[in-house]
Every structure is written in C-alpha cells, then in structure tokens.
Structure 1
Amino acid sequence: MQETLTPTRRRLALPIFIACAYGLAWLVALPLWLGDGLNSPWFMVVTIAMMFTPAVAALVAVLVERPQKKARALGLVPLQPVGRLLRHLALGLVVPIVVCLAALPIGHLAGVFPADFTGLSGFQQITEQQLAQAGVDELPLPIETLAALQIINVLVAALVINLLPALGEEIGWRGWMLPKLLRFGPWGAIGISGIIWGLWHAPLILLGYNYPGTPGWLALIAMVALCTIMGGVFGWLRLRSGSVWPAALAHSTFNAAATTYLLFIAADATFDPLQATITGWTGWILPAVVVLLVVLTGRFSPVSQETAGDLPRDDQ
C-alpha cells in the first residue's frame, strides 16, 4: 500500500521537526549548562552529539509525513548522474576552504585581522608554545612545512573526521528541511532556513562559543547571519546535486577550515570574531557574493527531473 502525504501531515511535519531539533539540542547541551560550560571535559562529546539532533528530528518528521520515498525525502538519494555528483562533491571540498582563507586578506585589508602571511609568526608562536608544554625545545620541521601539513590535516578532517557529524546536521537542515521552504522562493528559503539553523546553535553560542566575550543576543545575531550566508552555499550544493552529500561534505570542510586563520595570524595578536575570519562580517563578503550570484542566475533551485528525479518539495 502506498503512503500519502495528507495536508495535515505536511503542515505538522515542519513544526515538529523544528521542535525536535531544538529540544534535543538543549537536552544534549544540558550537561554543559549544569557543569563547567565550554570548559567541561564533556564539551567535545556534547557538540558532536548535538550535531546529530537535526537528523533525528528529520527522521521523526518523515515518520509524521510518511512520504513514499523516505531516502529521497531525507536527501540521501539520488546519487546519479555520477558525474554531476562528483562535480558538486569537489565544490563542497574546495569552496569552504576558499571562503575561509579569503576571509583573512579581506579582514587584513579592512584592518580587523592582524596577519603575517609570509613569516607565519603567530603560527610559529602557537606551535612553539604547544611543543614547550610537551617538553620539546625546537620545531621539528620548518614552519612553512608545518603549515602545509596543517592544510593537509584540513582535508583529512573534512573527508574523514568531520563528515559523519556534518551529515547528521545536513540530513536535517538541507536534506529534509530546505525543500520544504522552497515555496517561499529562494530568498525566503535561504533566510528562513538560516534563522532556524542559526538559532539552533543557541545552547553553545550563549555559553560563549564562536564569539567569546560578546553579549549573547549579539552573538546569536552574528551566528544567524553566518548560518544564513553559508546555508545558502550549502543549499545551492544540495539543490543542484539533487542530494545532501555535497552539502554534508561542504559543512564538514567548513568546520575543518574555520581555524586556518591560526596559520596566518601575527604573533601576539588578537581580533574580534564579530569582524574578522569567517565568523565576522569581513568573512561573509565572499560567500554572500556567491549566494547572490547563485540566486540571480536562477541556480538556487532543484535540478531538472530529467537529471535528478523528483526532488521532494512541500507542495508535491
């Protein structure tokens, strides 16, 4: 017997998804609030567990709406044509690294990011401090070689370490939720999904994550802005590939590349994360331009049925 999406189920699925994603996120983060916050020894475990809550919420939503093709509703398929999938996977690996690195010279030109692009003095200082704590007196390799190894580590983290947690988020945000919002048009889908995704981070942001020392309300606004812009990039990859996998790889790569500023910061320097690196307004410029071009060229839309099949939409 084929299952059908009744209007009532369609209307209930989205609010149930949001309620589950938010409720589970706060529940998972509760040990941090009852303990030592970001200094808790459970911090890494909590953050990774929290990244799976949107996928759990999406599974609950799928049980509510009962679509005929559940894997497609979650964005897990199709995986063909293979050439198109591989192209978008490559973009998912490259684009986040480019925008994270481009944020640094833009911030430097704007006077908000103190950089040392040639001497790598800040990276050397940080590395020497870490080695000294381990009882090592000198660098084992030239600082340039160590910096190159860190870039390789970004690729390893993107392809192996971060991918599964990132998929946990993307199954919910871009895999299941984004197609439901396409009825509001590209700007509406980008804006609404960005607000929902950004505010979902509240359990960590209000503890000082990403924006330490910033008032909670302002940190949340910044996080919503960042999630709206980068969510537009991830959403573009999801819609044009027809599946969630390129978006998941992009999310994984973004998380891995976000700390590459440590390679190029000047020694003894500090900066305001509201203004510099990918978390600040100077870092949002390039990905915002990408999203603008994608929308204006009509590419923030599902691929055609001839190449991807019926990507799930709320009005179908």
Structure 2
Amino acid sequence: MTVSPRPDWPAIGVFAVTSVALSWLVALPLWLRGLGLADPFLGLTAAAMMFTPALGVVAALLVQRRTHGRRGARVVLRELGMWPLRPAARTIWMCVAVIVAAPLLIALGLVGVGALGLATFDVVGFSGFAQTLQAAVPPGTPLPPIALLALVQVAMIPIGAVINAPFAFGEELGWRGFLLPALRPLGVWPALLISGAFWGFWHSPLILLGYNFLEPNAFGVLMMVMACVFFGILLGWTRLRTASVWPAVFAHGAFNASAGLGALVVAAGSATPAPVLAGPLGLIMWVVFAIVIGVLALTGQFRADRLDARLGPDPVRAAPVPTV
C-alpha cells in the first residue's frame, strides 16, 4: 500500500465537519424539547449519533475519489482496517483480550474509588444492587440469590460487547478506522492525541446536556476530550498494532457494557461520588488509563517496529539515514 507522506487534509476536513454537523443534527430534537437528561429519547439519540462518524467516512471517501481517483473495494476495506484480518490470529486474540481487559480497567478504577473513600462497596452481599432490584419489583416479590444475579451480570459483559459492537463500529470506523491512519504521517503520538481529542469534542451535543459528567458546560466538554484522549490512545494502539479496526470496536463495546459495574457492587447507603471523579471516564479512570499506557510505552509497544507497517511509517523513524 502506498502511503502519503502527508495527511490528506481535504478528506480529513470533510470527515470532521460531516461527523460533527451530523452529530448536532441528530441531537437537535433533544435540545428543542429542552428535557435534558430526562428526555425519554436520550438513549436512542445517543445510539443514533454513534453512526455519524461512519457517515463522515463515506463523505471523506467521496472526496478522496474525486482527488485521487477510484479505488477498489478491497483497497478501501484494507485502509479502513475492516478486511482482511491478516494475520488473523493476532487480530482475533486481540479482540478477545480487549473484551476481557475492558471490565478489568473499570474494576481497577473502582478499586481507586474505594481506596480514596469516595464510595463504599459490597462485593459479598451486593446490598446496593439488591436494594435497586427490590425497588424495581412489587413488594414481597421473591428474587433469586443476589450473588447469582450479580455473577450473571458480569458474565453478560462479553455478550454485551458483541451486542454493542454494531454501534461501536459506527464510531470506530471514523476514529480508528479512518482518522487515526489518516493522521499517521504526523507521527504515532500526534495521530493518537489528535484523533482522541477530536473524538471527545464530537460528544459535545450530549456533554453540553450534562451527559457523562453532569457538567453541561465547557468544563464537561474538556473532561470528555481528556478522557477520550486517554482511552483513545489504548484503542488506537490496538489499531496500530493489528492494522485492524475490530479490536477497537470490541474494546469500545466491552467498555460501554462494563460501565455499570459500579452500580453492581456499591453498598446500600453509600455516598454517590461525582462522576467527574469516579465515573467510568472520570479522573480516577484517567489514572488507570495512564498507568496502562505507561506500561505499554515502557515495554516498547509504541515503537514503530512494533506497529503494523501497513498503516504507514513513522515519518521521524522512517527518515533515510544520511550517508557520507
């Protein structure tokens, strides 16, 4: 595959404008109704928004077709990391690994929340979970053993990752399928940071309603940008390591499926910490992400020779060595 020595800025620009404009268009009914997080269509709107980056990719590909000529479907699928899976074993095992890793990351964040005394957890009796279930059914309704129900909830996370995958694909096709490789000529770290920051900014229509952080303001948007930079580095690493978008898709889906683990293990009567600190994308999770990123960096996982050459060379490392 021939790699451009510089980013295709016209295609990147069209992708950026299209994805953001469509996200606001999809979210517009929420703003017009003025119900905020209480809007009954909030979940449906958030799910629909997840497909707008994929539509942005379509717009970018149309620009590339006009500027670079027509390319075959196999070339486009390969450049977006959709197909082929080569080497297949590495990609498949990476998908399995990220589905397991996502709830572990959330769990590490909860350990930090508990260690700081921000919340109390009950991982034996699951008293908070039991209280929630009892409030949701008529009084006196018999319930199965709470520990069994909690175990079923945890066991459902891989299934949730698969169920979430089509929605996560709508986003990941844009962020890690198109944008990250498109920015790769800038270097590995600039591409990871910029693509992650834009991913966070794209969430603005929902964040400004109080989604995720209960901060409907610029601070909430900044929180989302930073959270997506941290998480985006990890998702981007799977893309750069395998040249496939699918590990990022399943990691994204598994993370969303794991986001409710805190509600499962919280103790009845526990304080409710601010999501800015203790939410799935809050400050404590940033520390967890940073630790994992640090381990990957220290073990050389971001070195150019560890990344898949099909995504293009690091322009710094790949520069020709002067000869005398």
In the superposition, the TM-score normalised over structure 1's length comes to 0.89
Residue segments in structure 1 that go unaligned for 5+ positions in a row:
none
Q: CA deviation at 1:114?
A: 2.7
* Shift, 1:210, TM fit: 0.8
Superposition CA RMSD, Å: 2.5
Aligned to 2:57: 58
Q: Secondary structure at the match of 2:278?
A: coil
| Partner residue, 2:28 | 30
Name which of 8, 11, 23 aligns with 2:9: 11
Structure 2 length as normaliser, TM-score? Answer: 0.87
Distance in 1 between residues matched to 2:3 and 2:21, nearest whole Å: 25
Deviation string, structure 1 residues 147-186 (Cα, Å, up to 9, x no partner): 0111122221111x21100000000000110112223333
Tell me if structure 2 keeps the 8 A contact 1:180–1:313.
Answer: no
Distance change (3 Å), C-alpha of 1:185 and 1:39: same
Matches within 5 A, 1:134-173: 135=138, 137-159=140-162, 161-173=163-175
- Asked whether the equivalents of residues 123 and 264 of structure 1 are also in contact (C-alpha less than 8 Å), the reply is yes
- Summarize the alignment of residues 255-270 of structure 1 with structure 2, pairs less than 5 Å apart: 255-269=256-270, 270=272
Letter aligned with residue 243 of structure 1: S
Which residue in 1 is equivalent to 2:321?
A: none
Within 5 Å, give how 1:29-178 maps onto structure 2: 29-35=27-33, 36-66=35-65, 68=71, 69-131=75-137, 135=138, 137-159=140-162, 161-178=163-180
Could you tell me whether the CA contact under 8 Å between 2:124 and 2:147 is conserved in 1? no
Match in the other structure for 1:218: 219
Question: Aligned partners of 2:314, 2:294: CA distance in 1, in Å?
Answer: 24
The residue type equivalent to 1:82 in the other structure is A
CA distance in structure 1 between the aligned counterparts of 2:43 and 2:166, rounded to whole angstroms: 15
**Separation (CA, whole Å) in 1 of partners of 2:213 and 2:48:** 21
Identical-residue share of aligned pairs (%): 39
The AA in structure 2 aligned to 1:22 is V
Distance 1:171 1:43 in 2: 23
Q: Alpha carbons of 1:6 and 1:286: their partners in 2 closer, same or farther (altered >3 Å)?
A: closer
Contact 2:6 2:186 in 1 (8 A): no
Match of 2:296 among 291, 294, 297: 294
User: Structure 2 regions of 5+ residues with no counterpart?
Assistant: 319-324
Structure 2 contact 8–182 (Cα < 8 Å) conserved:
no
Instruction: Tell me the distance in 1 between the aligned counterparts of 2:14 and 2:313.
Output: 17
Distance 1:296 1:14, change over 3 A: farther
* One-letter code aligned to 1:64: V
Instruction: Give, in angstroms, the shift of residue 104 of structure 1.
Output: 0.6
For residues 287 and 204 of structure 1, what CA distance do their matches in structure 2 show?
23
